[in-house]
Amino acid sequence: MSNSARSAAAPVAALAGFLLVVAAQLAVVLVILWAVLSILPSTVAVRAGVPLSIATFGAFGYATWRALQTRRRLPAGVEVTRDRAPKLWELVDGAAKAASVTSPDRLIVVAEATVAVGERTRLLGIVGGPRDLYLGLPLLQAWEPTLLRAGATHELAHYSPRLSRWAPVAYRGRVAAGRVIPRINRRNPAGVALRAYAGFYRRVDAPFSRAQEFAADRIAAEHAGAEAVVAVLRDLPALAGMQRLFHAEYVAPGWQAGLVPDDVFGGLLRVLAARSAEMAQLRGQEPEPAGPWDTHPLVGERIAELEKLKPAAETTPEPEPAPDKNDEAAPATKDEPAPATKDEPAPATKDEATPGKKDEATPAKEDEPHPELVPDLPRLGRALQDVAYPAGGRTVVSWDEFLSLARTAEMEREAEAALATVSRAAGSEVTGPAQVLELAADGRLRTAAQELFPGNSPEETTERMIDLLGLMLALAALRSGVVRWRHSWTGAAEVVGVDGSYLNLAELARAAAEPEMVQEVREYLEKIGVDLAATAGDGGPARSQILGGLVNLTADGVRTDLLITDLGLLLVPGLPRGRGNEAKRRLTKLAVGGVTAGAGETSTPGERFLPYADVTGVTTLPGRRKGWTIGLRDSDAVTLRPALDADELPGGWKAWDEAVTFLTGTRPAIPDQRSSIEASTEPSEPDLRTQGQTVSSPTDEQSLRHFGSQ
């Protein structure tokens, strides 16, 4: 047996050890059951044998089955058949042949910037099944065929027997165990031994996992060229990070406001074209580990190994991509602004990397969707948007209108929360800009700010007043149609006059903070057409941003599910025990539909929304079963506790911990709105920590190992 075969046999044997652990646990339960029955009188043993067996062996067997039976989550996508995209399938078939594996059964285009293979396995991956290749639409839009070839070959090479005949089983088992073990409920009695054994399995599997990744890189380099593989390793994490930034900054605010852009993927291409400098910066960063089950070598190590292959790769001619029919037309669109989309994705701008640069990563030819691979790619994008970003009652608008309405809705929500807090501090109802200016004129606004921020210096109190005044004046100007939003794909939006002229609302807000200047500010606003009494347009109720969710809690003793939003907590009547999966699906569907922002504005009878503005504090209750008492201003406190079968939506407990920390600390009552009023058009730094989960897909994402993961 060769060294590679022996190294592959070890993780396969360790994988089979999971089944031995299961058998050993059940055997122990049987022995204990037999020992208990043997010491009982025969008549009692006969009577108690069946119920006791069901209560012990049956219950433990069910717990074991639940531990290992995890529903496979499929990503939302559109299947592309061979007759629809023969050239793309030809590329995939060539990659499969190079990896010495059969072609995937299905090719599914998904919304995420990823290339991955998913296999429907059984018995923790020991028994294989049909394979699907998942290919992100952003890659089809932005990558050249050579990079797509490299990515597909690498993913399929994970199942290649060239390293060892046991290699496919080892990889399947690694993926299956990485999907199942982390999801075992902490309260599952069968999970203790399985989690402990999983640590041993990871240590045994890690060396071969690294070797398998290096082997997949070599196979991909042989087929597509070492430079293409290096480009993919650098570009894919950067592209995924930029997509998360795009979701958080551009899509999520409007999505939560009840809107959806008419061409999501066209907007992503605009961002890629406008932020080529940030993309270049991101390509140079080392991706963070995807988790404890991700044993990918560091990208730097993989690139170093590929550099050694470059001379050999250069002696072998690389497969030439099919000629692009749009090459001749490209210069004609070079100086055109990036379109919103309909028939083609946004073209690259002059700010992009210079032509001929050795880095073959996005956006090298973003204006060329490679129609030889996927005919009518915009049509595929629209079909994918219907699946991945379903309108679900939201209003479909153009990107310009989407961004404008989203920013205004954000300001309206923040203003509503701030005015409610100021009203309580001032002792009278404050409903809009006109009332805020009245408070500023007679000095009550400063008094309210001092009460809300007792530890602030006079200068800091003034800045808080200016923040609120600026927010109110900007909203009044927007409602009156005197100003509009001017957007930038490289930075923050700014409020400008309808003719594009600059309107210094920040200076007006600073002047209005002085009581003797309020009347002069009023007169100036009236002169330019700002109606301080104007109300918000009928855009429908604003929706809160979903941060996380918990199922199977109790609220004052009643089973309850919980959605954590940026503006408050939504309590949803819970389902009976044993329906945990149904409860999670129901809560996910509710999160996708959006939660209206405001107390009492719930879509289902029995639901209750607790705005953060009405919460006076949160007290953590002692004991093994932790609980929390939420104090409210105008009603009795609510006590939450996790039930024995409590569970979470992805990131639910983390979001709850952050919400408790926020509610127990000092909360700003007047939001900082200087970023909205004094917005800069300078490019902002991409934040890869930004999470894109605020835009929920109707289908959970499958746990797949990504080509570019560390």
pLDDT-derived band at 362 (thresholds 50, 70, 90) equals very low
| Cα Rg, the chain, nearest whole Å | 29
Q: Which of 318-332, 342-356, 537-551, 578-592 has the highest mean pLDDT?
A: 578-592
pLDDT at 676 over 60: no
The whole-number average pLDDT for the span 12-19 is 82
Q: What local confidence, expressed as pLDDT, does residue 602 receive?
A: 53
pLDDT digits (tens, 9 = 90+) for 115-143: 999 888 777 777 878 999 999 999 999 89
pLDDT digits (tens, 9 = 90+) for 641-653: 998 888 888 888 8
pLDDT digits (tens, 9 = 90+) for 604-642: 678 888 888 788 888 888 776 688 999 887 778 899 999
Q: What local confidence, expressed as pLDDT, does residue 368 receive?
A: 46
| Separation of alpha carbons 404 and 396, rounded Å | 13
Q: What local confidence, expressed as pLDDT, does residue 468 receive?
A: 92
pLDDT digits (tens, 9 = 90+) for 488-517: 898 888 888 888 888 888 899 999 999 999
pLDDT at 682 over 60: no
Domain co-membership, 383 together with 459: no
Residue 701 lies in a domain: no
Residue 534 lies in a domain: no
Q: What is the mean pLDDT of the chain?
A: 77
Weakest mean pLDDT among 390-399, 424-433, 683-692: 683-692
The whole-number average pLDDT for the span 440-456 is 89
pLDDT at 696 over 70: no
Q: What local confidence, expressed as pLDDT, does residue 108 receive?
A: 94
Residue 137 lies in a domain: yes
Domain co-membership, 250 together with 356: yes
User: Could you give the angle at the alpha carbon of 455 between the alpha carbons of 452 and 457, nearest 5°?
Assistant: 105
pLDDT at 398 over 90: yes
| Separation of alpha carbons 37 and 12, rounded Å | 38
Weakest mean pLDDT among 161-175, 191-205, 549-563, 678-692: 678-692
Residue 381 lies in a domain: yes
Domain co-membership, 550 together with 464: no
**How many domains would you assign to the chain?**
3
* Phi, psi dihedral angles at 162 (to 5 degrees): -65, -35
| Separation of alpha carbons 613 and 599, rounded Å | 10
The parent domain of residue 218 ranges over 77-319+333-388
Weakest mean pLDDT among 169-183, 344-358, 528-542: 344-358
| Separation of alpha carbons 295 and 673, rounded Å | 43
The whole-number average pLDDT for the span 351-375 is 47
Residue 681 lies in a domain: no
* pTM higher than 0.85: no
Q: Which of 601 and 287 is assigned the larger pLDDT? A: 287
Residue 43 lies in a domain: no
- Classify residue 136 by burial, with Cβ atoms within 10 Å: 0-12, 13-18, 19+: buried
Residue 651 lies in a domain: yes
pLDDT at 537 over 90: no
The whole-number average pLDDT for the span 594-613 is 69
Q: Which of 69 and 523 is assigned the larger pLDDT? A: 523
Q: What local confidence, expressed as pLDDT, does residue 230 receive?
A: 92
Domain co-membership, 523 together with 549: no
pLDDT digits (tens, 9 = 90+) for 60-117: 676 676 666 666 677 889 999 999 999 999 999 999 999 999 999 999 999 999 999 9
Residue 359 lies in a domain: yes
Domain co-membership, 202 together with 351: yes
Q: What local confidence, expressed as pLDDT, does residue 319 receive?
A: 47
pLDDT at 295 over 80: no
For residues 388 and 251, the answer to whether their CB atoms sit within 8 Å is no
* Phi, psi dihedral angles at 142 (to 5 degrees): -105, -25
Domain co-membership, 372 together with 410: no
For residues 192 and 180, the answer to whether their CB atoms sit within 8 Å is no
Domain co-membership, 259 together with 288: yes
Domain co-membership, 517 together with 559: no
> Which DSSP state fits 672?
-
Domain co-membership, 134 together with 265: yes
Q: What is the dihedral of CA 492, 497, 502, 507, to 10 degrees?
A: -90
Domain co-membership, 96 together with 218: yes
CATH number at residue 612: 2.30.29.30
Domain co-membership, 426 together with 384: no
* Phi, psi dihedral angles at 545 (to 5 degrees): -85, 125
Q: What local confidence, expressed as pLDDT, does residue 55 receive?
A: 63
DSSP secondary structure, 497-566, as one string: ETTS----HHHHHHHHTSGGGHHHHHHHHHHTT--TT---------EEPEEEEEEEEEETTEEEEEEEES
pLDDT-derived band at 436 (thresholds 50, 70, 90) equals very high
Domain co-membership, 496 together with 458: yes
The fraction of the chain above a pLDDT of 70, given in percent, is: 75
| Separation of alpha carbons 346 and 329, rounded Å | 14
- Classify residue 35 by burial, with Cβ atoms within 10 Å: 0-12, 13-18, 19+: exposed
Look at residue 448 and give its three-state secondary structure: helix
Weakest mean pLDDT among 186-190, 309-313, 516-520: 309-313
| Separation of alpha carbons 701 and 698, rounded Å | 9
